[in-house]
């Protein structure tokens, strides 16, 4: 994977090949499925961040099957982050996101909001359809608009 990225830094040639190979490994090697999903998350985030305009304060990482948020230190100045429709279960690395005002975590596997307590600028948080979520840890902020309604369908 690293060699393919080094040969083709723009990932126009090998980008889909890399994700296809990782998807095959996920299906074939069930013992390391979690590892390969994390590896794919890292690759996808790196690919998006390499092409993202650093002056842009919004980032959409929705619908990418991310299992974890890699490189949050590269997202320090983001004010809006959409991580909806992924496979996230932990927010432990979110303490880097000090400028974040809007965060969409709808349709993930989040069970706790631990990690968001240091996001002091956060104004709006959407956490719909995270069935096992215990949101007591962050809901003590009266300035935070939290949307956690179950989808009626």
**Are 103 and 144 in a shared domain?**
yes
Find residue 126's DSSP bridge partners.
104, 147
**Are 42 and 98 in a shared domain?**
no
Spatial neighbors of 113 by CB under 8 A, at least 6 apart, are 91, 127, 133, 134, 135, 137, 138
**Are 46 and 69 in a shared domain?**
no
pLDDT tens readout for residues 101-153: 999 999 999 988 888 888 999 999 999 999 888 666 555 554 566 666 555 44
The total number of structural domains in the chain stands at 2
2 lies in a domain? yes
Encoding tokens for residue 58?
């919004």
68 lies in a domain? yes
26 lies in a domain? yes
153 lies in a domain? no
- The residue out of 36, 51, 66 marking a domain boundary is 51
How many other β-carbons are positioned within 10 Å of the β-carbon of residue 83?
Answer: 24
- Give me the sheet containing 102-104, strands edge to edge: 58-60, 80-82, 102-104, 124-126, 145-147
What global pTM score does this model have?
Answer: 0.81
CATH of the domain at 137: 3.80.10.10
By residue range, what is the domain housing residue 35? 1-51
pLDDT tens readout for residues 45-103: 998 998 899 899 999 999 999 999 999 999 999 999 999 999 999 999 999 999 999 99
């Amino acid at each position: 994977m690293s060699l393919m990225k080094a040969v083709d830094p723009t990932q126009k040639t090998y980008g889909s090949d890399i994700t296809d190979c990782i998807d095959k490994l996920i299906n074939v090697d069930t013992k390391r499925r979690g590892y390969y999903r994390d590896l794919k998350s890292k690759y996808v985030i790196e690919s998006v961040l390499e092409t993202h305009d650093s002056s842009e304060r919004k980032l959409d990482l929705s619908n990418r099957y991310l299992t974890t948020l890699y490189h949050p230190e590269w997202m320090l100045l983001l004010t809006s982050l959409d991580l909806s429709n992924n496979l996230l279960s932990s927010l432990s690395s979110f303490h880097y996101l000090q400028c974040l005002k809007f965060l969409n975590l709808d349709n993930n596997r989040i069970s706790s909001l631990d990690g968001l307590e240091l996001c002091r600028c956060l104004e709006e948080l959407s956490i719909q359809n995270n069935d096992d979520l215990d949101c007591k840890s962050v809901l003590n902020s009266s300035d935070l608009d939290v949307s956690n309604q179950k989808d009626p369908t």
